[in-house]
Structure 1
Amino acid sequence: MIKDKALVSSLFGRGSLLAAAACLSLAVLPGAHAQQQQAPLLGASQEGNPQQEIQQYCGSIVDPARDQRYLLQKQELDKLQADVNERINTLEARKAEYEDWLKRRNAFLQKAKAGLVDIYKTSKADEAAQQFDEMDINIAAAIIMQLPARQSGLILSEMDAKKAAMVAAIMSSAVDPTTSRDPS
């Protein structure tokens, strides 16, 4: 045992001899240390008010818990914002595609309409009237409105009287400034 004290004294110095002895006794008798540790903890909790200790504990962790909760909420909001931004980008891409498609469709319709009007400009009035009688009334009115007035008059005179009257009514309502553009 004296050899151990000399070793401890040389390692830790003379002031730490007592601390080294305590460590050595703890290493030799672990059960005694456990009993010594339990006694102060039990004594401390019996001395104070348990409710007060709980409140102190909860009070000491409330700010870090709130900060953690706010951090988690911020992360969730950031994730949701990223999702919204991604959806907005997707919608903007689709909108651009749709606008491009609509532009090409309208250009095609303008070309087709111009070509169709040119076809009826060169046709005979009695033949065109037969075709307009079979055609949808709105389409017939749209084409007849774009033909020269003289030719439109000839075609309308060759058409069925009821159908010609409906076409004339559509054409007059289209040029009437008091007619609402919104049909509903």
Structure 2
Amino acid sequence: MRSCSNRGGRGGAVASAVALMALAISGPASAQEKAADTRGTAARAAEALKDAKANPYCANIADAAADARFAWQKETLASLEREIEGRIKALEEKRAEYEAWLKRRNEFLAKADEAVVAIYSRMRPDAAALQLANMQDDTAAAILAKLNPRSASAVLNEMEPARAAQLTGVMTDTSKRNAESEKSG
């Protein structure tokens, strides 16, 4: 069956039929050529008749085909829109998670007031270690985090190894949470 690429209606079929008639009228010179030409003309006439029947079919289904194409495009766009909305939702969840983490970090650092940090930085490491060992984990870790690295290392050196490791774990726990959230996202 012919494809529906000729959407011009019957114009193409009529033009083909007229061309075939003109060819038949002018005719070849020999009888052999006339017979061969007659077979070719008949084949072309049959082809033109098929085209004449196919064109109305094509014209009749053109609107339905366009509607089907538009429906498919609409469904594709809708699925893409749902996917984008899902990604936006995931990004909003991540943003909320990071905001909560930032709030916890700021609260953590706020526990160590600058004046308190200055006091601990001027203390002997062994005395500061005894004081920090008896504090809550968050407060002690916040003070250690605000001390300069040399003072903090001297204080941690004077503490019991288990307590020093515990405070160091609290200090680095925020970076662990951050690394885990990056891996999951």
TM over 0.5: no
Q: TM (normalized to structure 1)?
A: 0.39
Q: Which has more radius of gyration? A: 1
Q: TM (normalized to structure 2)?
A: 0.39
Q: Which has the higher contact order (CA 8 A, sep 6+)?
A: 2
